[in-house]
Amino acid sequence: MDLTGRPPAIVHWFQRWSPDGEFEAAPAMVAQATGALPMLSWEPWQGLGPIVSGELDDYIRRFASDVAAHAEPVLLRFAHEMNLRGIHWHDQPGIYRAAWERVRAAFGEAGAGNARFVWSPYVADSNAVAFEPYYPGDAQVDWLALDGYNWGRRRRWSRWPSFETIFAGSLASLTRLAPDKPIMLAEIGCTERGGDKARWMRDALLEAIPGRYPAIRAVVWFNKDRPDHADWRIDSSPATLAAWRQTAADPRYSLTGSELLDL
């Protein structure tokens, strides 16, 4: 909060599937102490086959029971970016939907109604297949989401795309797919290499999203320096931090975690 000027509405972390693991409640408690909604990206690195076959049922049930015992709301982003080639849980759409339904059913049986399921594909991209066939259905999903990045010149194949270039087509497809669901950008970021990151941030967060994409109810910036990817942080430069602090002070981004939950 000292860095950004206001507390976050969503705090996001990642957790790999592990048959002997358990729900990490500590990050959720830290998030809730700030008034934020916790969002967990739950990554099945074993792939989807063991889920569909029932091999991991005990783990899923135990994890769901842990979430239920936590009692407070948790945004659960299961197997995100499923349409991205090369990700461990990229598979045929039917297998993905079957895995999602099995996981969601286990949470229902465990009484984990505090888990809100976030379906989060990657935007249309040369390395991504169409995401529509992976949609598990309105009854299975609470939030829609998209992941997308401006890689700038960080990759030899990339340029400096605008927010619209990255997101517009996929947002239109997402809205057609499930027009009554709230939408978030669950991962968004911009590199410093190849253009003006601060200007890109202002154009995206202060102009495009609130002005032309009112269906977007939440934005989660990927605030991490990844040497193998890029420096996505909001303070990767003084100019970038100033742009972020301007965004954080804008009343259009004033919803709290509990207010987002009401959506």
* pLDDT at residue number 262: 80
Determine the residue type at 128: A
Is the per-residue pLDDT at 30 higher than 60?
A: yes
Tens-place pLDDT, residues 166-206: 999 999 999 999 999 999 999 999 999 999 999 999 999 99
pLDDT at 237 > cutoff 60: yes
Average pLDDT over residues 217-241: 94
* pLDDT value at residue 75: 98
At residue 156, the pLDDT reads: 63
Q: Once rounded to an integer, what is the mean pLDDT over residues 9-24?
A: 93
> How far is Cα 47 from Cα 58, in angstroms, rounded to an integer?
16
What is the arithmetic mean of pLDDT over 229-233? 93
Task: Yes or no: say if 197 and 191 are a contact pair by the CB < 8 Å rule.
Answer: yes
Is residue 33's pLDDT more than 60?
yes
Does the structure show a pLDDT above 80 at 88?
yes
Closest CA to 146 of 57, 56, 201, 213: 213
The C-alpha angle with vertex 252 and arms to 248 and 256, in degrees rounded to 5, equals 70
Predicted local distance difference test score (pLDDT) of residue 260: 86
d(CA 44, CA 162): 32
Model pLDDT, residue 139: 97
Least confident segment among 38-42, 136-140, 151-155, 174-178: 151-155
Model confidence band, residue 72 (pLDDT cutoffs 50, 70, 90): very high
pLDDT of residue 212: 95
Residue 116, token pair as written in the block: 């809100």
Which pLDDT band, with edges at 50, 70 and 90, does 155 fall under?
A: low
